Amino acid sequence: MATSTLSRVAKALLAPALALGATVGLASAPASAAVWNSCDQWGNTTLNGYTLYNNIWGSGAGSQCVWANSGTNWGVWANHPGTGGIKSYPNAKKVINKPITSLTSLTSSYNVTVPASGAYNTSYDIWDTDYDYEIMLWVNRTGAVGPLGTSQGTVTLGGHTWAVYKGNNGANEVFSFLRTSNSSSGTVDILPILKWIKDTKGWFGNETIGDVQFGYEITSSSGGLNFTTNNLTVSGG
C-alpha cells in the first residue's frame, strides 16, 4: 500500500481526463469489440451500475489501457517499469452509501485471470464516505508487494482466512486483509469483516460505507501484461 492513498482516491474522483504521452492502442483488448476503452490517465465511465477507472496515479508509470464489455466484465493491459512504488489501481466501483448498522448484507463474487509475472495485487478497496478509513482485501498477489502497517495476526471471516495489517498513511487509517493463499475466483462476505473491525476490534464506529472498489494495484508489469476481470458482482444494501 502506498503512502499516498488519499491522493490516489482524490485523483481518481476529481482529476480531469489527461491523455498519457504514450498510447499503445488496444491490441490487448478481447477479440470481441469492447463497448468502452480508454488509454487516458484518468479515463472513466459508468456501465450497468459500476464506474470503471483507468486510474494511473503513481509516479514513474508507463502505459496502460482499460477495456470493458460491461461493468462486471473488463480488463487492463499495463506496461509499467520494474521499479518500486504503486503505479496504478484500475478498478470497478459500486457505490453503497449506507451505515454499517443499516447494511443487511454486502457480498461480492470475483473471477479473474492474472499474470504469473510482474508485481501487483488483486484487491477490494472499501472506503467510508469521508475517506477516513480504507479496508483492503487482497485475494491474490504476485511479486514484491506488501501491505502498509503492522501485523495483527490472522482471522477467518467472510469465507476466507486473512493475514491482517493495521497502519496509517498520514491521511487515513488502512486495514489490510491478505488472503493466506492466492485465489482467482470466489465469493467474499464483506459485512462480517466490517463488523469485526467495528465491534470486535473497535477500530472505527458506525461508518457509512461509500465505495466498494475492485481492481489491480500494479507496481510493475514490464513488457505489457494483461489483467482480466471475467466477472465481478457487488451486491447488498
Residue corresponding to grid cell 480504507 = 134
pLDDT in tens, 175-228: 999 999 999 999 999 999 999 999 999 999 999 999 999 999 999 999 999 999
Cα radius of gyration (the chain): 17
Q: 88, exposed or middle or buried, with CB in 10 Å at 0-12, 13-18, 19+?
A: buried
Q: Identify the CA nearest to 127 among candidates 34, 46, 13, 27.
A: 13
Statement: residue 27 has pLDDT above 50 = no
Q: How many helices and strands (H and E) does the chain possess?
A: 2, 15
Q: pLDDT band at 12, cuts 50/70/90?
A: very low
| Mean pLDDT across the chain | 90
d(CA 38, CA 80): 16
pLDDT score at 237: 75
Statement: residue 57 has pLDDT above 60 = yes
Note the pTM of the prediction, 2 decimals: 0.89
Domains of the chain in sequence order? 5-236 (2.60.120.180)
- Across the beta sheet with 225-236, the strand order is 36-38, 63-70, 73-79, 225-236, 106-113, 185-189
